[in-house]
Amino acid sequence: MCETTERCILFSTVRRDRIGIRLPRALHNHATWRAALLRRRFKRENIERVERAYARYGFLAIAIPALLPPPMPFKIFVATAGTLEYPRWKFLVTVMVARSFRYYIEGILAVFYGRRVLLFIRDNGQVVISIVTAVIVLAVLVYAIANRGKPERKEQPGEDGV
**Domain range list for the chain:** 5-105
Q: What is the pLDDT of residue 27?
A: 46
Ramachandran sector of residue 119 (left: φ over 0; alpha: ψ -120 to 50; beta: rest): alpha
Burial of 46 (C-beta count, 10 Å sphere; 0-12/13-18/19+): middle
Distance separating the N- and C-terminal Cα atoms of the chain: 54
For the residues of the chain, what is the DSSP string, one character each?
A: --SSHHHHHHHHHHHHHHHHHHHHHHTTT-HHHHHHHHHHHS-HHHHHHHHHHHHHHTTHHHHHHHHS-TTS--HHHHHHHHHTT--HHHHHHHHHHHHHHHHHHHHHHHHHHHHHHHHHHHHHHHHHHHHHHHHHHHHHHHHHHHTSSSPPPPPPTTTT--
pLDDT score recorded for residue 140: 95
Picking from 135, 143, 74, 131, the residue whose alpha carbon sits closest to that of residue 102 is 74
Q: What's the confidence (pLDDT) of residue 77?
A: 77
Sequential pLDDT tens for the chain (162 residues): 555 544 545 455 555 555 555 555 554 455 555 566 667 777 778 778 877 887 888 888 888 888 888 777 777 777 777 777 778 888 888 889 998 999 999 899 999 998 998 999 899 999 999 999 999 999 999 999 988 877 666 655 545 444
